């Protein structure tokens, strides 16, 4: 089985890149984030033509998440208790329960959105504990907007006093790991650090001034079945690319 996660930064803008990528890479299950479209305009038909069912949660210009599957898709769920924004969708895909996540950015320290981000991560951990068992084959995939370790950013000093690297944010992710998930370590596309995001500013991609903020978090049955994992850096290159690269994981369940 091959699974993947990709923050596409607008599925409308990225569809000419997404569809050929699906045909080339052939993932069985894909988690998408920042689709930035309403359910009524999500490209269900284009994806169905490639064999994918889809569960999508979106309400317009911002946020939006989806799970795509060509191995079956049942029990879709579209909410995080107490947090109505379309930032979570989950479904059973064959033997695997899949969550697609787009964690709030947080904006700046002291901003109400930072507190909202911490509350969102806390609610996710609680819902996970209430509804799931770490012994089941389960993955949480998506853009967590957190760099879990200092080496997950190109220069930690640049981020002093800003979001994404603070201990409360990292603690929110560690709580998920402590519940029983493994942070899947993907092979980098370049250098020795598996960055998944590069700002659109000139030179950031070329200089590899990136961040690792996209994750695959896997329960024990999934983590033990992984045969390979890599950042598809090539998908970040060229005209019309998202500012994120996909993570692709192969496993033998």
Q: What is the CATH number of the domain that holds 221?
A: 3.60.10.10
Q: Is 101 domain-assigned? A: yes
Q: Tell whether the model's pLDDT for residue 183 goes beyond 90.
A: yes
Where are the strands (E) in 40-144, listed by range? 53-57, 65-69, 74-77, 88-93, 96-102, 138-143
Beta strands in the chain, from DSSP E residues, in sequence order: 2-7, 29-33, 53-57, 65-69, 74-77, 88-93, 96-102, 138-143, 181-183, 214-219, 226-231, 247-251
Do residues 102 and 130 make contact, with C-beta atoms less than 8 angstroms apart? no
Q: What is the pLDDT of residue 28?
A: 99
Total domain count, the chain: 1
Q: Is residue 253 part of a domain?
A: no
Residues 55 and 66: beta-carbon distance below 8 Å: yes
For the chain, the average pLDDT equals 97
pLDDT-based confidence at residue 53 (cuts at 50, 70, 90): very high
184: in domain: yes
Is residue 24 assigned to a domain?
A: yes
Q: pLDDT tens, 125-168?
A: 999 999 999 999 999 999 999 999 999 999 999 999 999 999 99
Percent of the chain at pLDDT > 70 equals 100
pTM over 0.95: yes
* pLDDT greater than 90 at residue 190: no
pLDDT (0 to 100) of residue 77: 97
Question: Could you list the residue range(s) of the whole structural domain that residue 67 is in?
Answer: 2-248
What is the reported pLDDT for 222? 98
Looking at the DSSP assignment, which residues form a beta bridge with residue 77?
90
Is 13 inside any structural domain?
Answer: yes
Q: Is the pLDDT of residue 34 over 90?
A: yes
- Position 189 scores a pLDDT of 83
The pLDDT-based confidence of 61 (bands split at 50, 70, 90) is confident
């Amino acid at each position: 089985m091959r699974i993947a996660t990709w923050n596409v930064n607008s599925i409308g803008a990225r569809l000419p890149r997404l569809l050929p990528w699906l045909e080339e890479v052939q993932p069985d299950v894909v988690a998408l984030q920042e689709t930035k479209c309403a359910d009524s305009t999500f490209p269900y038909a284009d994806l169905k033509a490639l064999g994918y069912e889809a569960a999508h949660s979106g309400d317009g210009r911002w946020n939006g998440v989806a799970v795509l599957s060509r191995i079956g898709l049942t029990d879709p769920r579209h909410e995080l208790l107490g947090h109505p924004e379309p930032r979570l969708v989950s479904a059973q895909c064959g033997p695997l329960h899949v969550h697609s996540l787009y964690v709030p950015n947080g904006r700046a320290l002291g901003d109400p959105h930072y507190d909202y981000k911490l509350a969102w991560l806390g609610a996710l951990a609680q819902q996970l504990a209430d509804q799931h068992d770490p012994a089941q084959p389960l993955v949480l995939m998506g853009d967590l907007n957190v760099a879990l370790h200092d080496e997950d950013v190109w220069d930690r000093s640049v981020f002093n006093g800003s979001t994404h690297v603070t201990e409360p944010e990292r603690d929110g992710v560690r709580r998920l790991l402590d519940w029983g998930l493994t942070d899947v370590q993907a092979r980098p596309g370049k250098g020795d650090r598996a960055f998944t995001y590069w700002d659109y500013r000139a030179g950031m991609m070329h200089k590899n001034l990136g961040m690792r903020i996209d994750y695959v978090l896997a329960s024990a049955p999934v983590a033990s079945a992984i045969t390979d994992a890599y950042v598809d850096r090539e998908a970040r290159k060229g005209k019309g690319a998202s500012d994120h690269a996909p993570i692709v994981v192969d496993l033998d369940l």
